Structure 1
Amino acid sequence: MSATRLLVLGVVRMHGKAHGYQVRRDLLTWSADKWANVQPGSIYHALKKMTAEKLLEQVDTEPGSGPDRVAYRLTKDGETEFRALLCQALSEPDPGGHERSAAIVLMTALPRDRVAGLLRQQLVKLEADERTAELLGAEGEDSGQPEHVSELFRLWQVQAGASVRWLRELIERLEAGEYRMADDPGRSFGEPPE
Protein backbone atom coordinates (compact mmCIF):
# COMPACT_ATOMS: atom_id res chain seq x y z
CA MET A 1 0.00 0.00 0.00
CA SER A 2 1.07 3.57 -0.56
CA ALA A 3 0.58 6.38 1.93
CA THR A 4 0.33 8.74 -1.05
CA ARG A 5 -2.57 6.75 -2.49
CA LEU A 6 -4.49 6.80 0.80
CA LEU A 7 -3.84 10.49 1.42
CA VAL A 8 -4.80 11.59 -2.10
CA LEU A 9 -8.06 9.65 -1.90
CA GLY A 10 -8.67 11.08 1.57
CA VAL A 11 -8.11 14.71 0.53
CA VAL A 12 -10.26 14.44 -2.60
CA ARG A 13 -12.97 12.77 -0.49
CA MET A 14 -12.73 15.44 2.20
CA HIS A 15 -13.36 18.25 -0.30
CA GLY A 16 -15.99 16.39 -2.33
CA LYS A 17 -14.02 17.42 -5.41
CA ALA A 18 -10.50 18.78 -5.63
CA HIS A 19 -7.90 19.61 -8.24
CA GLY A 20 -4.29 18.49 -8.08
CA TYR A 21 -2.96 21.78 -6.78
CA GLN A 22 -5.50 21.75 -3.94
CA VAL A 23 -4.53 18.17 -2.96
CA ARG A 24 -0.84 19.10 -3.12
CA ARG A 25 -1.38 22.26 -1.05
CA ASP A 26 -3.28 20.40 1.67
CA LEU A 27 -0.73 17.60 1.93
CA LEU A 28 2.23 19.98 2.02
CA THR A 29 0.43 22.15 4.59
CA TRP A 30 0.07 19.01 6.72
CA SER A 31 3.84 18.32 6.18
CA ALA A 32 2.98 14.93 4.64
CA ASP A 33 6.17 15.22 2.60
CA LYS A 34 8.06 14.71 5.89
CA TRP A 35 5.98 12.17 7.84
CA ALA A 36 4.57 10.17 4.91
CA ASN A 37 7.26 10.77 2.28
CA VAL A 38 4.66 12.22 -0.12
CA GLN A 39 6.44 13.98 -2.96
CA PRO A 40 4.60 16.63 -5.01
CA GLY A 41 5.14 14.75 -8.29
CA SER A 42 3.71 11.57 -6.80
CA ILE A 43 0.45 13.37 -6.02
CA TYR A 44 -0.20 14.18 -9.68
CA HIS A 45 0.89 10.69 -10.72
CA ALA A 46 -1.53 9.18 -8.17
CA LEU A 47 -4.41 11.34 -9.46
CA LYS A 48 -3.83 10.21 -13.06
CA LYS A 49 -3.32 6.56 -12.12
CA MET A 50 -6.41 6.39 -9.91
CA THR A 51 -8.46 8.12 -12.62
CA ALA A 52 -7.33 5.40 -15.06
CA GLU A 53 -8.30 2.79 -12.43
CA LYS A 54 -11.77 4.39 -12.16
CA LEU A 55 -11.27 5.27 -8.48
CA LEU A 56 -11.46 8.97 -9.34
CA GLU A 57 -13.34 10.78 -12.06
CA GLN A 58 -12.70 14.13 -13.65
CA VAL A 59 -15.62 16.43 -12.92
CA ASP A 60 -14.61 19.75 -14.44
CA THR A 61 -11.73 21.84 -15.65
CA GLU A 62 -10.96 25.34 -14.40
CA PRO A 63 -9.28 27.43 -17.11
CA GLY A 64 -6.67 29.85 -15.89
CA SER A 65 -3.59 31.76 -16.89
CA GLY A 66 -1.49 28.60 -16.48
CA PRO A 67 -2.36 25.01 -17.22
CA ASP A 68 -6.02 24.12 -16.78
CA ARG A 69 -6.90 22.67 -13.39
CA VAL A 70 -8.75 19.39 -13.56
CA ALA A 71 -11.00 18.65 -10.58
CA TYR A 72 -11.52 15.07 -9.39
CA ARG A 73 -13.99 13.30 -7.12
CA LEU A 74 -14.15 9.78 -5.76
CA THR A 75 -16.20 7.19 -7.56
CA LYS A 76 -18.06 4.48 -5.67
CA ASP A 77 -15.02 2.23 -6.22
CA GLY A 78 -12.80 5.06 -4.98
CA GLU A 79 -14.77 5.25 -1.74
CA THR A 80 -14.45 1.48 -1.33
CA GLU A 81 -10.70 1.68 -2.00
CA PHE A 82 -10.30 4.57 0.47
CA ARG A 83 -12.02 2.61 3.23
CA ALA A 84 -10.09 -0.59 2.47
CA LEU A 85 -6.73 1.20 2.51
CA LEU A 86 -7.62 3.07 5.69
CA CYS A 87 -8.70 -0.12 7.47
CA GLN A 88 -5.59 -1.96 6.32
CA ALA A 89 -3.29 0.82 7.52
CA LEU A 90 -5.02 0.97 10.91
CA SER A 91 -4.90 -2.80 11.47
CA GLU A 92 -1.42 -3.71 10.21
CA PRO A 93 1.96 -2.85 11.74
CA ASP A 94 3.92 -0.49 9.52
CA PRO A 95 7.70 -0.62 10.01
CA GLY A 96 8.27 2.55 7.96
CA GLY A 97 5.41 4.39 9.62
CA HIS A 98 4.18 6.18 6.49
CA GLU A 99 0.92 4.25 6.05
CA ARG A 100 0.18 4.33 9.79
CA SER A 101 0.75 8.09 9.83
CA ALA A 102 -1.61 8.59 6.89
CA ALA A 103 -4.23 6.40 8.59
CA ILE A 104 -4.03 8.31 11.87
CA VAL A 105 -4.61 11.59 10.02
CA LEU A 106 -7.69 10.13 8.30
CA MET A 107 -9.00 7.81 11.05
CA THR A 108 -11.83 10.19 11.95
CA ALA A 109 -13.52 9.24 8.66
CA LEU A 110 -14.53 5.93 10.30
CA PRO A 111 -16.78 5.19 13.29
CA ARG A 112 -15.08 5.19 16.71
CA ASP A 113 -15.65 1.48 17.50
CA ARG A 114 -14.38 0.45 14.06
CA VAL A 115 -11.14 2.40 14.51
CA ALA A 116 -10.60 1.04 18.03
CA GLY A 117 -11.17 -2.52 16.77
CA LEU A 118 -8.71 -2.09 13.89
CA LEU A 119 -6.11 -0.62 16.23
CA ARG A 120 -6.58 -3.60 18.57
CA GLN A 121 -5.75 -5.92 15.65
CA GLN A 122 -2.55 -3.98 15.07
CA LEU A 123 -1.80 -4.07 18.81
CA VAL A 124 -1.97 -7.88 18.92
CA LYS A 125 0.49 -8.12 16.03
CA LEU A 126 2.86 -5.58 17.58
CA GLU A 127 2.78 -7.37 20.94
CA ALA A 128 3.82 -10.53 19.08
CA ASP A 129 6.61 -8.62 17.33
CA GLU A 130 7.81 -7.28 20.68
CA ARG A 131 7.89 -10.79 22.15
CA THR A 132 9.66 -12.21 19.07
CA ALA A 133 12.36 -9.53 19.30
CA GLU A 134 12.78 -10.30 22.99
CA LEU A 135 13.22 -14.02 22.27
CA LEU A 136 15.64 -13.35 19.42
CA GLY A 137 17.70 -11.13 21.70
CA ALA A 138 17.89 -13.83 24.35
CA GLU A 139 18.79 -16.45 21.73
CA GLY A 140 21.36 -14.20 20.10
CA GLU A 141 23.83 -14.66 22.93
CA ASP A 142 24.13 -18.41 22.28
CA SER A 143 23.45 -18.51 18.54
CA GLY A 144 26.99 -18.18 17.31
CA GLN A 145 26.28 -14.75 15.82
CA PRO A 146 28.62 -11.85 16.54
CA GLU A 147 27.57 -10.43 19.90
CA HIS A 148 26.82 -6.95 18.53
CA VAL A 149 23.99 -8.39 16.36
CA SER A 150 21.93 -8.60 19.56
CA GLU A 151 21.69 -4.79 19.41
CA LEU A 152 19.48 -5.14 16.36
CA PHE A 153 17.05 -7.32 18.33
CA ARG A 154 17.10 -4.82 21.20
CA LEU A 155 16.25 -2.04 18.73
CA TRP A 156 13.31 -4.02 17.36
CA GLN A 157 12.09 -4.74 20.88
CA VAL A 158 12.28 -1.08 21.94
CA GLN A 159 10.53 0.09 18.76
CA ALA A 160 7.76 -2.50 19.12
CA GLY A 161 7.41 -1.66 22.83
CA ALA A 162 7.02 2.05 22.10
CA SER A 163 4.40 1.32 19.42
CA VAL A 164 2.53 -1.00 21.79
CA ARG A 165 2.39 1.65 24.52
CA TRP A 166 1.30 4.37 22.09
CA LEU A 167 -1.43 2.19 20.56
CA ARG A 168 -2.81 1.23 23.98
CA GLU A 169 -3.00 4.91 24.94
CA LEU A 170 -4.63 5.89 21.62
CA ILE A 171 -7.27 3.16 22.04
CA GLU A 172 -7.95 4.42 25.58
CA ARG A 173 -8.33 8.01 24.31
CA LEU A 174 -10.73 6.88 21.58
CA GLU A 175 -12.79 4.85 24.05
CA ALA A 176 -12.90 7.88 26.37
CA GLY A 177 -14.51 9.89 23.57
CA GLU A 178 -11.57 11.98 22.40
CA TYR A 179 -11.65 13.22 18.81
CA ARG A 180 -14.76 13.71 16.70
CA MET A 181 -15.28 10.54 14.68
CA ALA A 182 -17.56 9.77 11.71
CA ASP A 183 -20.36 8.47 13.93
CA ASP A 184 -20.29 11.45 16.33
CA PRO A 185 -22.60 14.46 15.95
CA GLY A 186 -21.22 17.14 13.65
CA ARG A 187 -18.80 16.84 10.79
CA SER A 188 -15.55 15.05 11.57
CA PHE A 189 -12.24 15.85 9.89
CA GLY A 190 -12.00 14.14 6.53
CA GLU A 191 -15.72 13.78 5.98
CA PRO A 192 -16.98 14.95 2.59
CA PRO A 193 -19.25 17.99 2.44
CA GLU A 194 -22.95 17.31 2.34
Structure 2
Amino acid sequence: MVKLIILYYLNIKSTHGYEIQKFIQATGLDVWAKVKSGSIYYALSKMEKNGEVELYKEETVGSKVRKIYQITEKGKNELKNTIEEELDKPLMPIGTDKFIIPITFNRLDKNEAIAIVNKHIKSLEETLDYWEYWKDIKINESTLQVEKISFEMTVNGIKDSIRWHKAIIDEYDEYVKYSQSQEVMIKNIDFGDVEEPKNNNAQADKKRIEELREIILNNPEKSKEALEELMNLMSQVK
Protein backbone atom coordinates (compact mmCIF):
# COMPACT_ATOMS: atom_id res chain seq x y z
CA MET A 1 0.00 0.00 0.00
CA VAL A 2 2.87 2.42 0.74
CA LYS A 3 4.03 2.10 -2.86
CA LEU A 4 0.59 3.05 -4.15
CA ILE A 5 0.44 6.12 -1.91
CA ILE A 6 3.91 7.32 -2.93
CA LEU A 7 3.24 6.88 -6.64
CA TYR A 8 -0.13 8.59 -6.27
CA TYR A 9 1.46 11.57 -4.54
CA LEU A 10 4.41 11.91 -6.89
CA ASN A 11 2.07 11.67 -9.85
CA ILE A 12 0.57 14.94 -8.59
CA LYS A 13 3.82 16.74 -7.79
CA SER A 14 7.49 16.12 -7.14
CA THR A 15 8.37 16.15 -3.45
CA HIS A 16 10.36 14.56 -0.63
CA GLY A 17 9.56 11.65 1.68
CA TYR A 18 8.84 13.85 4.69
CA GLU A 19 6.01 15.65 2.92
CA ILE A 20 4.44 12.34 1.91
CA GLN A 21 4.76 11.15 5.51
CA LYS A 22 2.99 14.28 6.86
CA PHE A 23 0.26 13.93 4.22
CA ILE A 24 -0.37 10.35 5.34
CA GLN A 25 -0.58 11.41 8.98
CA ALA A 26 -2.77 14.45 8.32
CA THR A 27 -5.31 12.54 6.25
CA GLY A 28 -5.48 9.50 8.53
CA LEU A 29 -4.12 7.16 5.88
CA ASP A 30 -1.69 5.80 8.45
CA VAL A 31 -4.74 4.36 10.24
CA TRP A 32 -5.85 2.45 7.16
CA ALA A 33 -2.53 1.61 5.56
CA LYS A 34 -0.43 1.30 8.75
CA VAL A 35 2.42 3.12 7.03
CA LYS A 36 5.51 3.83 9.15
CA SER A 37 7.83 6.72 8.32
CA GLY A 38 10.81 4.42 7.79
CA SER A 39 8.91 2.40 5.22
CA ILE A 40 8.40 5.50 3.05
CA TYR A 41 12.12 6.12 2.64
CA TYR A 42 12.83 2.44 2.13
CA ALA A 43 10.14 2.27 -0.54
CA LEU A 44 11.44 5.41 -2.27
CA SER A 45 14.95 3.93 -2.41
CA LYS A 46 13.66 0.67 -3.82
CA MET A 47 11.42 2.40 -6.34
CA GLU A 48 14.34 4.56 -7.46
CA LYS A 49 16.37 1.42 -8.16
CA ASN A 50 13.41 0.00 -10.10
CA GLY A 51 13.18 3.14 -12.21
CA GLU A 52 9.69 4.05 -11.00
CA VAL A 53 10.85 7.33 -9.43
CA GLU A 54 13.99 9.38 -9.91
CA LEU A 55 15.89 12.04 -8.00
CA TYR A 56 14.80 15.44 -9.30
CA LYS A 57 16.94 17.68 -7.11
CA GLU A 58 18.21 18.16 -3.57
CA GLU A 59 17.20 20.97 -1.24
CA THR A 60 19.02 22.16 1.87
CA VAL A 61 16.75 23.04 4.78
CA GLY A 62 18.84 24.16 7.74
CA SER A 63 21.30 21.37 8.35
CA LYS A 64 19.21 18.82 6.46
CA VAL A 65 19.34 17.84 2.80
CA ARG A 66 16.05 16.73 1.33
CA LYS A 67 15.87 14.59 -1.77
CA ILE A 68 13.08 15.66 -4.12
CA TYR A 69 11.74 12.79 -6.17
CA GLN A 70 9.63 12.77 -9.31
CA ILE A 71 7.68 9.96 -10.92
CA THR A 72 8.90 8.40 -14.18
CA GLU A 73 6.86 7.03 -17.07
CA LYS A 74 7.50 3.57 -15.71
CA GLY A 75 6.20 4.78 -12.36
CA LYS A 76 3.02 6.15 -13.95
CA ASN A 77 2.38 2.80 -15.62
CA GLU A 78 3.09 1.03 -12.33
CA LEU A 79 0.62 3.32 -10.53
CA LYS A 80 -2.10 2.42 -13.02
CA ASN A 81 -1.32 -1.30 -12.76
CA THR A 82 -1.20 -1.19 -8.95
CA ILE A 83 -4.57 0.55 -8.71
CA GLU A 84 -6.12 -2.00 -11.07
CA GLU A 85 -4.62 -4.89 -9.06
CA GLU A 86 -5.95 -3.47 -5.79
CA LEU A 87 -9.42 -3.06 -7.28
CA ASP A 88 -9.43 -6.73 -8.24
CA LYS A 89 -8.49 -7.97 -4.75
CA PRO A 90 -11.11 -9.20 -2.24
CA LEU A 91 -12.18 -6.47 0.16
CA MET A 92 -12.03 -8.85 3.10
CA PRO A 93 -10.31 -12.23 3.53
CA ILE A 94 -12.75 -15.12 3.04
CA GLY A 95 -10.63 -17.59 4.92
CA THR A 96 -7.57 -17.89 7.12
CA ASP A 97 -5.28 -20.67 8.25
CA LYS A 98 -6.37 -19.89 11.79
CA PHE A 99 -9.83 -21.31 11.13
CA ILE A 100 -8.48 -24.86 11.21
CA ILE A 101 -6.38 -24.42 14.37
CA PRO A 102 -9.09 -25.61 16.83
CA ILE A 103 -9.02 -29.14 15.36
CA THR A 104 -5.43 -29.45 16.66
CA PHE A 105 -6.18 -28.52 20.27
CA ASN A 106 -5.44 -31.98 21.69
CA ARG A 107 -1.78 -31.20 20.93
CA LEU A 108 -1.75 -28.16 23.21
CA ASP A 109 -1.70 -27.54 26.94
CA LYS A 110 -5.14 -26.12 27.70
CA ASN A 111 -3.98 -23.48 30.21
CA GLU A 112 -1.21 -22.24 27.92
CA ALA A 113 -3.51 -22.17 24.90
CA ILE A 114 -6.25 -20.24 26.72
CA ALA A 115 -3.66 -17.79 28.08
CA ILE A 116 -2.53 -17.10 24.50
CA VAL A 117 -6.12 -16.62 23.34
CA ASN A 118 -6.93 -14.29 26.23
CA LYS A 119 -3.84 -12.24 25.48
CA HIS A 120 -4.91 -11.98 21.84
CA ILE A 121 -8.45 -10.98 22.85
CA LYS A 122 -7.02 -8.18 25.00
CA SER A 123 -4.97 -6.98 22.02
CA LEU A 124 -8.06 -7.08 19.80
CA GLU A 125 -10.07 -5.10 22.35
CA GLU A 126 -7.34 -2.44 22.43
CA THR A 127 -7.39 -2.35 18.63
CA LEU A 128 -11.17 -2.00 18.71
CA ASP A 129 -10.91 0.97 21.07
CA TYR A 130 -8.40 2.55 18.69
CA TRP A 131 -10.64 2.17 15.63
CA GLU A 132 -13.78 3.31 17.45
CA TYR A 133 -11.86 6.38 18.62
CA TRP A 134 -10.91 7.24 15.03
CA LYS A 135 -14.42 6.46 13.84
CA ASP A 136 -15.86 9.01 16.27
CA ILE A 137 -13.38 11.61 15.03
CA LYS A 138 -13.69 10.97 11.30
CA ILE A 139 -17.37 10.14 10.79
CA ASN A 140 -19.96 12.91 10.70
CA GLU A 141 -22.96 13.97 8.63
CA SER A 142 -20.79 15.08 5.71
CA THR A 143 -18.71 11.88 5.55
CA LEU A 144 -19.05 9.94 2.31
CA GLN A 145 -20.69 6.53 2.45
CA VAL A 146 -17.59 4.61 1.39
CA GLU A 147 -15.61 5.92 4.34
CA LYS A 148 -18.46 5.20 6.75
CA ILE A 149 -18.79 1.65 5.46
CA SER A 150 -15.02 1.16 5.59
CA PHE A 151 -14.99 2.04 9.28
CA GLU A 152 -18.04 -0.11 9.99
CA MET A 153 -16.52 -3.12 8.23
CA THR A 154 -13.25 -2.72 10.12
CA VAL A 155 -14.92 -2.32 13.51
CA ASN A 156 -17.36 -5.17 12.89
CA GLY A 157 -14.51 -7.39 11.67
CA ILE A 158 -12.61 -6.83 14.92
CA LYS A 159 -15.76 -7.52 16.94
CA ASP A 160 -16.32 -10.77 15.04
CA SER A 161 -12.72 -11.76 15.68
CA ILE A 162 -13.19 -11.17 19.41
CA ARG A 163 -16.36 -13.29 19.37
CA TRP A 164 -14.54 -16.08 17.50
CA HIS A 165 -11.70 -16.21 20.02
CA LYS A 166 -14.08 -16.13 22.99
CA ALA A 167 -15.99 -19.05 21.43
CA ILE A 168 -12.71 -20.98 21.26
CA ILE A 169 -12.38 -20.68 25.04
CA ASP A 170 -16.03 -21.66 25.58
CA GLU A 171 -15.78 -24.74 23.36
CA TYR A 172 -12.17 -25.68 24.01
CA ASP A 173 -12.90 -29.04 25.65
CA GLU A 174 -15.26 -30.03 22.83
CA TYR A 175 -12.59 -29.32 20.25
CA VAL A 176 -10.06 -31.35 22.21
CA LYS A 177 -12.41 -34.34 22.00
CA TYR A 178 -12.91 -33.71 18.32
CA SER A 179 -9.18 -33.41 17.74
CA GLN A 180 -8.69 -36.80 19.34
CA SER A 181 -11.37 -38.44 17.20
CA GLN A 182 -9.91 -36.87 14.06
CA GLU A 183 -6.49 -38.34 14.84
CA VAL A 184 -8.14 -41.75 15.14
CA MET A 185 -9.67 -41.26 11.70
CA ILE A 186 -6.35 -40.21 10.17
CA LYS A 187 -4.54 -43.19 11.71
CA ASN A 188 -7.10 -45.67 10.40
CA ILE A 189 -7.80 -44.31 6.92
CA ASP A 190 -5.28 -44.07 4.10
CA PHE A 191 -6.57 -41.06 2.22
CA GLY A 192 -4.24 -41.80 -0.66
CA ASP A 193 -5.63 -45.31 -1.03
CA VAL A 194 -9.32 -44.47 -1.31
CA GLU A 195 -10.62 -46.29 -4.38
CA GLU A 196 -12.58 -44.59 -7.13
CA PRO A 197 -16.33 -44.98 -6.69
CA LYS A 198 -17.91 -47.90 -8.51
CA ASN A 199 -21.57 -46.92 -8.28
CA ASN A 200 -23.81 -43.87 -8.15
CA ASN A 201 -24.05 -43.86 -4.36
CA ALA A 202 -20.26 -43.86 -4.04
CA GLN A 203 -20.07 -41.09 -6.62
CA ALA A 204 -22.49 -39.03 -4.55
CA ASP A 205 -20.40 -39.70 -1.45
CA LYS A 206 -17.29 -38.52 -3.25
CA LYS A 207 -19.02 -35.30 -4.26
CA ARG A 208 -20.22 -34.75 -0.71
CA ILE A 209 -16.70 -35.30 0.64
CA GLU A 210 -15.40 -32.49 -1.58
CA GLU A 211 -18.24 -30.25 -0.45
CA LEU A 212 -17.44 -30.96 3.18
CA ARG A 213 -13.79 -30.18 2.67
CA GLU A 214 -14.74 -26.77 1.27
CA ILE A 215 -17.00 -26.10 4.25
CA ILE A 216 -14.22 -27.02 6.69
CA LEU A 217 -11.78 -24.66 5.00
CA ASN A 218 -14.10 -21.72 4.39
CA ASN A 219 -16.95 -21.84 6.92
CA PRO A 220 -15.64 -22.09 10.50
CA GLU A 221 -19.13 -21.93 12.03
CA LYS A 222 -20.08 -25.21 10.33
CA SER A 223 -16.65 -26.86 10.34
CA LYS A 224 -17.31 -29.03 13.39
CA GLU A 225 -20.44 -30.65 11.94
CA ALA A 226 -18.79 -30.96 8.54
CA LEU A 227 -15.80 -32.76 10.03
CA GLU A 228 -18.06 -35.24 11.82
CA GLU A 229 -19.91 -36.01 8.59
CA LEU A 230 -16.64 -36.27 6.69
CA MET A 231 -15.32 -38.83 9.14
CA ASN A 232 -18.40 -40.98 8.69
CA LEU A 233 -18.27 -40.77 4.90
CA MET A 234 -14.55 -41.48 4.67
CA SER A 235 -14.94 -44.61 6.78
CA GLN A 236 -17.62 -45.86 4.38
CA VAL A 237 -15.83 -45.23 1.09
CA LYS A 238 -14.14 -48.47 0.02
Q: TM-score, normalised by structure 1?
A: 0.50
- Which one has a bigger Cα radius of gyration? 2
Larger RCO (CA within 8 A; separation ≥ 6): 1
Which has the larger share of helix? 2
Q: TM-score, normalised by structure 2?
A: 0.41
